[in-house]
Structure 1
Amino acid sequence: MIYPAPLEQGSVIAVTAFSSGINDAAKGRYQLVVTDLKEKGYVIIEGKCLMGNSKHVSAPAAQRADELMSFLLDDTLDAIAAPWGGELAMEILPLLDFDHLKKVKPKWLFGFSDISTLMVVMSTKLNWATAHSPNLMNLVANETETLTANFLTNMATKTGASFTQYASQQHTDKWPDSRINSAAILEPYLKTNWRWLVSPQNGSCLEGRLIGGCWDTLIHLFDTPYLDLKRYAKECDEGVILYLENVEMSPADLVRSILSMKFKGVFTHPKAVLLGRSAYPDTHDKDDLTYHEVIKRHLSDLGIPVLIDMDIGHVPPNLTLINGALARISCEEGSWKLTQSLT
Structure 2
Amino acid sequence: MLVRFPRPLQPGDLVGVTSPSSGVPDALRPRLEVALTTVRAHGFEVEVGECMDGRGHVSATVEQRAAELQRMLVDPRIRAVVPPWGGETAIDLLANLDWAEISQAQPTWVVGFSDTATLITPLTLLTGWATVHGNNLMDTPYAPPEGLLSWLDIVTLDLKSTCTQTSPRAWREGFVDYVEHPAVDHLELNQPGGWRRLDGDRDREVDVTGRLIGGCLETLSPLGGSRYLDPTWLADAPGDERGGGGLIVYVEAAEADAFQVCRSLHGLRLAGFFDRAAAVLVGRTSAPDADTLTQEEAVLDALGTLGVLILADVECGHVAPYLPLVNGAIARVQHSPEASTISQTLA
> TM-score range, shorter-chain basis?
over 0.9
Offset, 1:168: 1.7
More displaced stretch, 196-205 vs 121-130: 196-205
Look up the SS of the partner of 1:340 in the other structure: strand
Counterpart of 1:263, as a letter, is L
The Cα of 1:280 is off from its aligned counterpart by 0.8
The aligned amino acid for 1:145 is: P
User: 1:1-16, aligned counterparts within 5 Å?
Assistant: 1-16=3-18
Identity level (%): 34
Deviation at 1:178, TM superposition (A): 1.0
1:280 and 1:110, CA in 2 relative to 1: closer, same or farther beyond 3 A? same
Partners of 1:258 and 1:16 lie apart in 2 by 30
Q: Structure 1-normalised TM-score?
A: 0.93
Cα distance in 1 for partners of 2:268, 2:159 equals: 33
Give the gaps of 5 or more residues in structure 1. none
Q: Match for residue 342 of structure 2?
A: 338
CA RMSD of aligned residues (A): 2.0
Alignment CA distance shift 1:329-1:136 (3 Å): same
- Structure 2 runs not aligned, ≥5 long: none
Count matched residues: 338
Which of these residues, 209, 218, 225, is aligned with residue 216 of structure 1? 218
Q: Distance in 1 between matches of 2:341 and 2:132?
A: 18
Q: State the SS of the aligned residue for 1:90.
A: helix
Partner of 1:86: 87
Once the 2 structures are TM-superposed, how far is the Cα of residue 293 of structure 1 from its aligned partner? 2.1
Q: CA deviation at 1:296?
A: 2.8
Do the aligned partners of 2:148 and 2:165 also contact (CA within 8 Å) in 1? no
Residue 180 (structure 1) aligns with:
180
Are 2:315 and 1:314 equivalent residues in the alignment? Answer: no
Q: Report the CA distance shift for 1:26/1:92 in structure 2 as closer, same or farther (over 3 A).
A: same
Q: Give the aligned residue type for 1:172.
A: R
Give CA deviations for 1:7-45 in whole Å, capped at 9, x if unaligned. Answer: 232121000000000001210000111122223311000
What secondary structure is seen at the aligned counterpart in 2 of 1:70?
Answer: helix
Task: Check if 1:69 corresponds to 2:73.
Answer: no
Q: Distance in 1 between matches of 2:92 and 2:303?
A: 30
Q: 1:114 to 1:256 in 2, by over 3 A?
A: same
* Partner residue, 2:206: 204
**Does the CA-based 8 Å contact 2:109-2:155 persist in structure 1?**
no
Tell whether 2:239 aligns with 1:239: no
Give the residue type in structure 1 aligned to 2:182. S
After superposition, the Cα gap between the structure-2 partners of 1:234 and 1:192, relative to the gap in structure 1 and judged at 3 Å, is same
TM-score (norm 2): 0.92
Contact 1:175 1:186 in 2 (8 A): no
1:25 aligned residue:
27
The reply on whether 1:305 has 2:312 as its aligned counterpart is no
Decide whether the 8 Å contact of 1:147 with 1:319 is kept in 2: no
Cα 1:199–1:109 change in 2 (3 A) is farther
CA displacement 1:210-269 (0-9 Å, x = unmatched)? 001101111011210111123433446631111000112111111211222233333222
Contact 2:135 2:150 in 1 (8 A): no
How far apart in 2 are the matches of 1:28 and 1:148? 26
Report the AA paired with residue 78 of structure 1.
R
- What amino acid does structure 2 have at the position aligned with 1:256? R
SS in 2 for 1:207: strand
Which amino acid letter does the alignment assign opposite residue 85 of structure 1? Answer: G
Look up the SS of the partner of 1:158 in the other structure.
coil
Structure 1 contact 14–45 (Cα < 8 Å) conserved? yes
Q: What SS does structure 1 have at the residue aligned with 2:75?
A: coil
- Show the counterpart of 1:158: 158
Separation (CA, whole Å) in 2 of partners of 1:280 and 1:117: 19
Deviation at 1:149, TM superposition (A): 6.0
